[in-house]
Structure formats: C-alpha cells, structure tokens
Amino acid sequence: MSTFTQRMIGAARLDSHTYEEVEADRTATSQALAVVVLASLAAAAGSVGLGIGSGIGAALGALVGWFVWAMLIYLIGTRLFPEPQTQADVGELLRTLGFAAAPGVVRVLGIVPGLRWPIFAITAIWMLVTTVVAVRQALDYRSTLRAIGVCSTGWLISVVLAVVMGVLFGPTVQ
C-alpha cells in the first residue's frame, strides 16, 4: 500500500493504479478529505491577501463542494451513463475525486508575484484531467470519453444550479 504522499503524487501523475487503490481502500476517505483541505488551503494561500478566516471558509466550501460533486457524479455516472460493468458507491467517488484535487496543492505557488494566474490556470486544467481519470476508474469505465461526458454533464448541471441559486438568492438591485 502506498503512503499518503505517494498517493497524492500518483493521483497528480494520472496513475490509474493509484486511483484504483484509493477506490478500493475504504480507510482512505479521510486521506481524500485531507487532500481536498490541503488543496483549498493552498489556493487560499496562493491568493495573496486572504487571511485565516478566508482559508477556513475556502476549506469548508471545498468540502461541501467535494461531497456534492461526488453525489452528482455518482448519480450521473451510475444512473444516466453506466457501462455494463459500472459498479460504484459514493465512498469510492469521494475517495477518487478527493485525490483528484492533489494538483491543487501547487496553487500555493500563486504567492510568488506574477505566478498566481498562470499557476491557477495550469492547475485548473490539470485538476480537470485528474477528475476525468478519477471518474473513469471509480465508475469502472472502459471509455475515457464516457468519463468526460459524465464530468461535462455534471459541470453543466452545476452551472445551471449556480445560476438559478444566484437569481433566486443573489443580491437585489434597488
């Protein structure tokens, strides 16, 4: 079994065996949670000028987002777009998607003047790719295109929900 650090590196390197390992290891959920928190704290630190309160808020928001995203991907991947061999539970998605956040730790480098936007852009794309690999492995897909479709569908639903929430609960103009 790999160490926590080895798992984070393997996940960031898109190693499918790492994703299979954390998918199968029911004790790795707390490690996945730690990856999500570390990535969110790194992003807060890399966004120069955010204080401790912002870091805590970012970590809490990331945890809620992680759970909601795992539930959404679970429903889309197992109910709408399953392959014949697809068998997964929410815990497997929590673990794989948590480790997919590993590249986010690099966002701490955003503290270096002039690097914030390039670092955040690169890690956003990197995390998108790790998420596709995590979904492919957790849902036992043979097709990466199907995993991309599930992630895209989940993203579209998230955007629609965010817009609806913004319209319903956003600031009012007087």
pLDDT higher than 70, residue 51: no
Total structural domains in the chain? 1
DSSP 3-31: -HHHHHHHHHTT-HHHHHHHHH-GGGHHH
* Three-class secondary structure of residue 32 per DSSP: helix
In a domain, 107, yes or no: yes
Mean pLDDT (whole number) for 141-157: 96
In a domain, 109, yes or no: yes
Greatest CA span in the chain, whole angstroms? 59
132 CB burial (10 A radius; 0-12, 13-18, 19+): buried
pLDDT higher than 90, residue 52: no
CB 74 within 8 A of CB 93: yes
In a domain, 139, yes or no: yes
Mean pLDDT (whole number) for 117-145: 97
In a domain, 174, yes or no: no
pLDDT number for residue 49 = 60
Helix axes 29-46, 4-12, angle to 10 degrees: 70
pLDDT number for residue 83 = 96
In a domain, 121, yes or no: yes
pLDDT number for residue 162 = 83
In a domain, 98, yes or no: yes
pLDDT higher than 80, residue 70: yes
- Residue range of the domain that includes 83: 4-169
In a domain, 155, yes or no: yes
pLDDT number for residue 53 = 64
pLDDT in tens, 87-103: 999 999 999 999 999 99
